[in-house]
């Protein structure tokens, strides 16, 4: 059954001139080889009052110009004044809305009465709001963990001041602040380092690190929250202008108060303006072969970018990138940007901890690290070499691949190593 979008039908049909322009643009899109730009390819068909197309072709359609018309996204017809859509912000409205409708989630309402953006929102307060950043362009981030709760307030401020000075000078698009959780339920193996609770990452990102000019992405483990606490947290994040990556329970045996799927639904219905990212785990794909399908389900639920866990296995990462690319091409969908996480390893115990976390470290690479004269420097060289290989592999396929360099150690040498690693990645991305 075709779902009806709750917006009154537009009274005007498009004039012949803009309609011909749109059809010509669609014809050009159909001639674009998939290998060159899979995001802009897809079957289109013109209708009397507009154009029917899949969500990933909206940008090409909007760029073509035109006047009023109906847009059919998935099973739902949207009426939108395309002549009033002049920025990526407006286009992202359409992309997010069509994705929500196609996945069956509660759709935010879209205004389509010929009004401009600000006027439309004034007349329809339930109109969907979008994030202030085009996260499709986010390519380089730096990840940190907040101090432990046991750290005295004065020392917390000292740590934050040092981090502010260091991070503010980095050529990054955003800062990631992790939310650590006890993952002991995931394995029977003893944790190499004891688990200690940290300061609330939202508080640390926007209070202690408020002078950092870069945008902030806050991780949040949702399994221990109830609906009310999660929505309160989401509202606070929205007020601060941050993005989030929501994390589910580490294992199926852990007691869960709020599931990740329900958290996605709440965010889409109650806070769609909060930019949302997802987790991508190459090792999980290596074991089950289903990570590509999981990524697309998360995109349907609103994820605009993805961050991997620490990567040391290049083959596992290539496998999931390849499967994501060919699935995107087969389904004629746009693949969200992916940030590959690199993490310096400065000791044998750190290497053991990575393995405990589920990071795949190939035998040959482990040997190279353990027998190196300087394990930290060797880990940087191997990580940079691996990212260079992944970056070239992704670039050939038009995959938007970036990097997240994390600094989760208290050791100064490893902190300095993370900065060196980020600067070398920046040069690969053409920023240094």
pLDDT value of residue 24? 53
pLDDT value of residue 318? 95
- The angle formed by the CA atoms of residues 120, 123 and 125, to the nearest 5 degrees, is 90
Q: Which CATH architecture has domain 135-428?
A: Alpha-Beta Barrel (3.20)
pLDDT value of residue 289? 80
Q: What is the pTM of this model?
A: 0.69
Question: Coil, strand or helix: which one is 400?
Answer: coil
Q: Which two tokens stand for residue 195?
A: 């688990």
Q: How much is the mean pLDDT over the chain?
A: 74
What stretch of H or E contains 197?
A: none
Contact 163, 409 (CB under 8 A): no
pLDDT in tens, 162-221: 999 999 999 999 999 999 765 555 555 666 556 578 899 999 999 999 999 999 999 999
Q: Which residue has the higher pLDDT, 355 or 71?
A: 355
Who contacts 142 (Cβ-Cβ below 8 Å, separation ≥6)? 167, 170, 172, 175, 176, 404, 405, 406, 407, 418, 422
Q: Provide the H-helix boundaries in 1-72.
A: 16-30, 58-63
The residues of the chain that CATH labels 3.20.20.220 are 135-428
Who contacts 328 (Cβ-Cβ below 8 Å, separation ≥6)? 38, 296, 334, 335
pLDDT value of residue 408? 81
pLDDT value of residue 290? 87
pLDDT in tens, 316-326: 999 999 999 99
Q: What is the mean pLDDT of residues 298-309?
A: 95
- Cα dihedral 127/133/135/140 (nearest 10): -160
């Amino acid at each position: 059954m075709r779902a009806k979008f709750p917006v009154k039908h537009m009274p005007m049909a498009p004039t012949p001139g803009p309609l011909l322009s749109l059809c010509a643009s669609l014809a050009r899109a159909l001639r674009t080889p998939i290998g060159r730009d899979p995001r802009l390819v897809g079957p289109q068909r013109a209708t009397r009052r507009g154009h029917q197309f899949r969500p990933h072709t909206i940008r090409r359609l909007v760029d073509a110009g035109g006047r009023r018309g109906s847009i059919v996204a998935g099973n739902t017809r949207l009426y939108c004044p395309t002549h009033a859509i002049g920025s990526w912000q407006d286009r992202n409205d359409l992309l997010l809305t069509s994705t929500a409708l196609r996945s069956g989630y509660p759709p935010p309402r879209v205004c389509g009465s010929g009004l401009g953006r600000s006027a439309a929102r004034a007349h329809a307060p339930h109109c969907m709001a979008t994030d202030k950043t085009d996260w499709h362009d986010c390519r380089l981030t730096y990840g940190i963990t907040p101090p432990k709760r046991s750290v005295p307030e004065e020392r917390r401020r000292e740590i934050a001041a040092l981090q502010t000075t260091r991070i503010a000078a980095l050529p990054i698009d955003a800062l990631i602040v992790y939310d650590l959780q006890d993952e002991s339920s995931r394995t029977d193996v003893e944790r190499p380092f004891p688990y200690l609770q940290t300061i609330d990452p939202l508080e640390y990102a926007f209070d202690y690190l408020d002078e950092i000019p870069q945008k902030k992405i806050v991780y949040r483990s949702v399994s221990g929250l109830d609906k009310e606490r999660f929505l309160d947290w989401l509202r606070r994040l929205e007020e601060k202008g941050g993005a989030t990556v929501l994390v589910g329970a580490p294992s199926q045996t852990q007691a869960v108060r709020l599931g990740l799927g329900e958290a996605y639904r709440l965010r889409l219905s109650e806070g769609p303006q909060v930019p949302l990212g997802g987790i991508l785990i190459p090792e999980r794909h290596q074991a089950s072969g289903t990570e590509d399908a999981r990524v697309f389900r998360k995109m349907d639920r609103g994820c605009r970018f993805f961050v991997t866990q620490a990567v040391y296995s290049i083959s596992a990462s290539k496998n999931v990138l390849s499967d994501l690319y060919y699935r995107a091409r087969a389904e004629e969908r746009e693949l969200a940007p992916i940030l590959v996480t690199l993490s310096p390893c400065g000791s044998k115990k750190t290497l053991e901890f990575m393995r405990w976390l589920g990071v795949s470290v190939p035998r040959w690479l482990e040997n190279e690290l353990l027998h190196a004269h300087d394990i930290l420097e060797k880990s940087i060289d191997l990580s940079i070499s691996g990212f260079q290989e992944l970056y070239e592999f992704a670039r050939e396929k038009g995959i938007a691949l970036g990097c997240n360099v994390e600094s989760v150690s208290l050791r100064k040498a490893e902190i300095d190593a993370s900065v060196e690693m980020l600067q070398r990645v920046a040069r690969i991305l053409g920023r240094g």
